[in-house]
């Protein structure tokens, strides 16, 4: 797989500036007018994995109580609002490039490349909604067509279309639909696994709707899980959607970020939970202290004495992995769907399979897993709460998704950082604020219904229906 990532080195960056002189500012006489589609496809994958997993360490990782900072706590305590990189990454980089691939794949008749690019676009746009709420969608990434001030769409409109786009993508995947192996940093050209990722992502989109569009959620999930031949999903850890970094000039993003600052600790909420559950994953998530025990650093507090660090496999591993989606998450979605009565089946079995597969990622032996599953706080008791807390554990190092799920379920129920710059809030941040660049350049289109309080609070993303939170 490592050889594929090197293709990204030769990419021609296709950025779209939000200016009226688009053609002049985006024409480079020293470069050709177009780049090979498969190279741009590879670049989209690599950029998505790198960009969001660096930002993950600075913001959502702390929001959900997974990781924190020990000295440079301005970010953790919300003093510093996010820069434009997250927004620009979606709109100037991902959408521009993925739309280029989609258009080119349609012209060339490469259905597999088209479908895989559609999956990446859906992945990126769900991220955009989950991070910001109402965002440009229908008119986004259309600078080449003269739309430099795109209108905003509401979350329901976007989520509805994402489900439709993923349905279409699933129907396009086929053995004879075209080769993507030279640019596929995720599956090395295995189309059957791309199709599984597509339908699993559709499950993720659907489960987010439980509190705002339960009928849609049930219909979508029942369709997928009720027709495994038409809609295959991730079926084992071998199907996990991930990118493996080769090291050298292409270092896994948590390691890259940690190497430059080295101020990262595992947070108290996740450590306390793992210890309380006697969870064997703790030694794989965290480094023990000098006395062999584990202690997480409270989010927002300076590390004034020894605390556990994040495990070296995640922050001192240049050839580490970044996950887009795991089989364990799919099994927990399945468990929730069964528990809610959306589909028939054994929720406890899916719950236990999720935990087992998560532990197997770290080569934890069967006997240890069985003992853990029999623990008083883990053994299945037909509880959504159990599913939600295990999903939070499983999603360690996938903190964007953990943050979204925590806002949907309010599990775990966490307070803001201990030394938050803003008083009066009883939960971690609700969303990212729109960047200054958007406020200055596209203010007429920013929805007036989106109120921003202390940068990170105020408006709830559509599917966040929690009450009495502020």
Domain harbouring 157, CATH code: 1.25.40.390
- The pLDDT tens digits of the residues spanning 403-427 come to 999 999 999 999 999 999 999 999 9
How much is the average pLDDT of 441-453? 96
Other CB atoms within 10 A of residue 345 CB:
14
How many domains, in total, are found in the chain?
1
Question: Is 463 a domain residue?
Answer: no
Residue 262, C-beta contacts closer than 8 angstroms, at least 6 positions apart: none
Question: Is 253 a domain residue?
Answer: yes
Quick one: pLDDT at residue 12? 36
The DSSP 8-state label assigned to residue 303 in this structure reads -
Rounded-to-integer distance, Cα 137 and Cα 150, Å: 8
Q: What is the pTM of this model?
A: 0.93
Helix (H) or strand (E) holding 355: helix 347-360
Question: Is 464 a domain residue?
Answer: no
Rounded-to-integer distance, Cα 317 and Cα 400, Å: 21
Find out whether 247 and 318 touch, Cβ atoms under 8 Å.
yes
State in Å, rounded, how far the first CA of the chain is from the last one. Answer: 45
Place 33 in a pLDDT band, splitting at 50, 70 and 90. Answer: low
Q: Is the pLDDT of residue 159 over 90?
A: yes
Question: Is 246 a domain residue?
Answer: yes
Quick one: pLDDT at residue 21? 33
Q: What backbone torsions phi and psi does residue 132 show, to the nearest 5 degrees?
A: -115, -25
Question: Is 317 a domain residue?
Answer: no
Question: Is 467 a domain residue?
Answer: no
Q: What backbone torsions phi and psi does residue 440 show, to the nearest 5 degrees?
A: -80, -35
Find out whether 128 and 461 touch, Cβ atoms under 8 Å.
no
Question: Is 105 a domain residue?
Answer: yes
Handedness of CA 454, 459, 464, 469 (dihedral sign): positive
Rounded-to-integer distance, Cα 417 and Cα 124, Å: 28
How much is the average pLDDT of 438-457? 96
Q: Is the pLDDT of residue 27 over 60?
A: no
Identify the three-state secondary structure at position 286: strand
Q: Range of 411's domain?
A: 2-310+322-458
Question: Is 178 a domain residue?
Answer: yes
Q: Which two tokens stand for residue 107?
A: 């012209």
Q: Which two tokens stand for residue 20?
A: 């009226």
Closest-CA residue to 203 (of 325, 48, 37):
325
Rounded-to-integer distance, Cα 180 and Cα 41, Å: 9
How much is the average pLDDT of 221-238? 98
Closest-CA residue to 115 (of 100, 97, 128, 102):
102
Helix (H) or strand (E) holding 276: helix 268-276
């Amino acid at each position: 797989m490592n050889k594929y990532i090197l293709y990204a080195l030769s990419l021609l960056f296709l950025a779209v500036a939000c200016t009226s002189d688009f053609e002049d500012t985006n024409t480079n006489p020293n470069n050709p007018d177009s780049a090979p589609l498969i190279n741009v496809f590879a670049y989209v994958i690599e950029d998505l994995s790198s960009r969001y997993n660096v930002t993950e360490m600075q913001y959502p990782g702390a929001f959900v109580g997974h990781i924190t900072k020990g000295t440079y706590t301005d970010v953790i305590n919300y003093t510093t609002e996010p820069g434009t990189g997250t927004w620009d990454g979606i709109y100037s980089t991902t959408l521009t490039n993925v739309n280029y691939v989609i258009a080119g794949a349609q012209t060339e008749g490469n259905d597999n490349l088209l479908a895989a690019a559609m999956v990446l676009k859906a992945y990126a746009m769900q991220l955009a909604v989950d991070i910001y709420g109402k965002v440009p969608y229908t008119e986004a990434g259309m600078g080449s067509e003269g739309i430099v001030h795109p209108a905003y769409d509401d979350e329901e409109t976007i989520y509805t279309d994402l489900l439709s786009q993923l349905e279409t993508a699933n129907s396009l995947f086929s053995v004879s639909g075209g080769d993507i192996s030279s640019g596929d940093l995720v599956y090395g050209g295995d189309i059957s696994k791309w199709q599984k990722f597509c339908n699993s992502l559709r499950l993720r989109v659907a489960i987010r709707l439980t509190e705002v569009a339960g009928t849609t959620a049930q219909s979508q999930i029942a369709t997928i899980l009720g027709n495994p031949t038409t809609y295959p999903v991730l079926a084992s850890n071998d199907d996990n959607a991930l990118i493996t970094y080769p090291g050298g000039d292409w270092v896994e993003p948590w390691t890259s970020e940690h190497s430059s600052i080295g101020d990262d600790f595992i947070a108290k909420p996740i450590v306390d939970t793992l210890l309380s559950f006697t969870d064997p994953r703790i030694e794989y998530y965290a480094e023990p202290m000098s006395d062999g025990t584990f202690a997480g650093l409270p989010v927002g507090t300076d590390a004034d004495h020894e605390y556990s660090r994040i495990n070296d496999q995640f922050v001192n591993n240049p050839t580490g992995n970044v996950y887009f989606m795991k089989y364990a998450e799919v099994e927990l979605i399945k468990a929730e769907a069964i528990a809610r009565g959306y589909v028939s089946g054994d929720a406890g079995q899916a719950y236990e399979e999720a935990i087992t597969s998560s532990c197997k990622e770290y080569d934890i032996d069967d006997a240890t897993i069985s003992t853990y599953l029999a623990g008083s706080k883990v053994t299945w008791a037909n509880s959504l709460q159990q599913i939600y807390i295990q999903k939070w554990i499983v999603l360690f190092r996938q903190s964007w998704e953990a943050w979204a799920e925590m806002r949907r379920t309010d599990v775990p129920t966490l307070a803001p950082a201990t030394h938050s710059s803003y008083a009066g809030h009883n939960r971690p941040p609700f969303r990212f604020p729109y960047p200054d660049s958007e406020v200055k350049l596209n203010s007429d289109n920013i929805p007036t219904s989106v109120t921003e309080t202390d940068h990170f609070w105020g408006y709830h993303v559509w599917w966040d229906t929690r009450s009495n939170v502020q």
